Chains A and B, each alone.
Chain A
Amino acid sequence: MPDKTAGTLATTSRRAPVIKPPKRLVGTVYRGREGMWSWVLHRITGVAIYFFLLVHILDTSLVRLSPEAYNAVINTYKTPIMGLGETALVVAIGFHALNGLRIILIDFWSVGAKYQRLMFWIVIALWIVLLVGFVPRQFMHIFGAH
């Protein structure tokens, strides 16, 4: 519950170990630098994909209504503006999927947390490779003659 999260820290009980706060609030997995930004991007891309998915289930459902209704809507997906939207979608899914695998490795691989920063840059590298493969082809489809 959100109202339980704000408040003062309980006075340290005798049994609990004393943990010194870090001098600068960076360098832990989720505070500052790669760890934090990967989390920010993961969250933003997750939400963006979610809202696309809601619309996408609805537009695909039109196949049950009539061929004409489905074709009318899906044809708008072939315009240059929507083509750029599809590009953005693949950009978002590409990062979310690769970083999702990084999260799974952090959680389940014995040295995952140790290498989380390196894995972030591997995610970025694979992401770029994926987009170098996808974007030119997509632009060919939406801007090229067909």
Chain B
Amino acid sequence: MTTIEAPRSPKPARTRRRGINGEKWGWIYMRASGLVLVILIFGHLFVNLVSGKGVNAIDFAFVAGKLADPFWVVWDTLLLWLALIHGSNGIRTLINDYTRTPLTRRILLIAVATATAVLLILGTLVIYTFDPCPAGAAANLVPSFCQGR
């Protein structure tokens, strides 16, 4: 059985670490990203679910119209990176809390890190290589500004 020090007893010198305190910066990140995400997420939800015809308005032409505007490109990029890293770091906390063996902990942490990296790259590539007027697409499926291009 391991021993837990009495609360507030001085930290033994050997456990003090030098260098960057990752947990501290993770803690700060959760709060800093959370503040920005409040604006990004409620703006996102308002434009896509509430205004106009709500979810019924969403189709390829709707998304293409948004991604043709640098404002939404920046908005969506920030949303992707801040939310996914915030969520993954939160899941990391849950894995640390609930796994019972170092092996399951390792496997789950690697799975989350892999999923995060893959989705960040995929999402970023989609935003920056997107073509609102793909060649050969039916005219009724693409934004109206594609006519005459």
Q: Given A6-B2, A17-B8, are A57 and B80 neighbors across the interface (CB < 8 Å)?
A: yes
Contact call B130/A63, Cβ cutoff below 8 A: yes
**Which B residues are CB-close (under 8 A) to A9?**
3-4, 6
Report yes or no: B87 in contact with A46, Cβ–Cβ below 8 A: yes
Find chain A residues with CB under 8 A from B84 CB. Answer: 53, 57
Let me know if B130 and A141 touch, CB within 8 A: no
> Chain A, 39-55, contact with B by CB distance < 8 Å: what is the 0/1 string?
00001001101100110
Given the complex, which residues of B lie within 8 Å of A6, measured CB to CB? 1-2
Using a CB–CB distance below 8 Å, which chain B residues touch chain A? Answer: 1-10, 31, 34-35, 37-38, 41-42, 45, 49-50, 53-56, 58-61, 63-64, 67, 80, 83-84, 87-88, 90-91, 94, 96-97, 99-102, 105, 115, 119, 122-123, 125-126, 129-130, 134, 137-138, 141-142
> Judging by beta carbons under 8 Å apart, are A71 and B60 in contact?
yes
* B6 and A16 contact, CB distance less than 8 A: yes
Give the interface residue-count category, chain A. Answer: 35 or more
Give every chain B residue within 8 A of A100 (Cβ-Cβ). Answer: 34, 38
Chain A residues packing against B (C-beta within 8 Å): 1-13, 15-17, 19, 43, 46-47, 49-50, 53-54, 57-58, 60-61, 63-64, 66-68, 70-71, 74-75, 77-78, 83, 86, 90, 93, 97, 100-101, 103-104, 107-108, 134, 137-138, 140-142, 146
- The residue from A8, A83, A103 contacting B55, defined by CB atoms under 8 A apart: A83
A7 to chain B, nearest CB (A): 4
Residues of A within 8 A of B5 (CB): 10
